[in-house]
Amino acid sequence: MLNALQMFITIAVIALVTFTTRALPFIFFRSKEPPAMLAVIEKNLPPMILLLLVIYCLKDVQWLTAPYGIPELFTICVVAGLHFWKRNAMLSIFTGTALYMVLVQFNVFSFL
Amino acid sequence: MVRNEEYKKTGEKNKDLFTTAFKTTIPVLLGYIPLGMAFGFLLDGAGYHWIYAFIMSLFVYAGSGQFLAVALLSAGAGLTEFAIATLLLNFRHAFYGLSLLEKFSGIGKIKPYLIFALTDETYALLTTTDVPQGSSKSKFYFYIAALDHSYWIAGSVLGAVLGSVLDLNIEGMSFVLTALFVVLTIEQYFSSETRFPFIAAVGAGALSLILFSSDNMLLASIVLGTLILIGREKSMQKTQRKQNTQEYRKH
- A75 min Cα distance to partner chain B (Å): 8
In the predicted model, what is the mean pLDDT of residues A98-112? 92
Q: Is the pLDDT score of B138 beyond 50?
A: yes
In the predicted model, what is the mean pLDDT of residues B44-55? 92
Euclidean distance between CA atoms A40 and B214, whole angstroms: 28
In the predicted model, what is the mean pLDDT of residues B224-244? 90
Asked if A51 and B101 come within 8 Å (Cβ–Cβ), the reply is: no
DSSP reduced 3-state for B200:
helix
DSSP string, chain A: ---HHHHHHHHHHHHHHHHHHHHHHHHHTSSSPPPTHHHHHHHHHHHHHHHHHHHHHTTT--TTSTTTTHHHHHHHHHHHHHHHHH--HHHHHHHHHHHHHHHHHTTTTTT-
Q: Is the pLDDT score of B9 beyond 80?
A: no
Considering only CB atoms, which chain A residues are within 8 Å of B198? 47-48, 51
Confidence of residue B1 (pLDDT cuts 50, 70, 90): very low
Q: Is the pLDDT score of B10 beyond 80?
A: no
Q: Given this model, what pLDDT does residue B74 score?
A: 87
Confidence of residue B168 (pLDDT cuts 50, 70, 90): low
Local structure of residue B226 (DSSP, 8 states): H
Q: Which residue has the higher pLDDT, A73 or B46?
A: A73
Q: Given this model, what pLDDT does residue B240 score?
A: 86
Euclidean distance between CA atoms B148 and B122, whole angstroms: 7
Considering only CB atoms, which chain B residues are within 8 Å of A80? 182, 186
Nearest to B93 by CA among B225, B224, B222: B222
8 A C-beta contact, residue B182 and residue A83 = yes
In the predicted model, what is the mean pLDDT of residues B192-196? 90
Q: Given this model, what pLDDT does residue B216 score?
A: 87
Confidence of residue A111 (pLDDT cuts 50, 70, 90): confident
Question: For B1-15, B43-57, B224-238, which range has the lowest pLDDT when averaged over its residues?
Answer: B1-15
8 A C-beta contact, residue B143 and residue B18 = yes
* Residue B194: alpha-carbon gap to chain centroid: 23
pLDDT tens for A29-80 read 887 777 788 888 888 999 999 999 999 999 989 999 989 999 999 999 999 9
Euclidean distance between CA atoms B128 and B36, whole angstroms: 24
- B6 min Cα distance to partner chain A (Å): 34
Here the ipTM equals 0.92
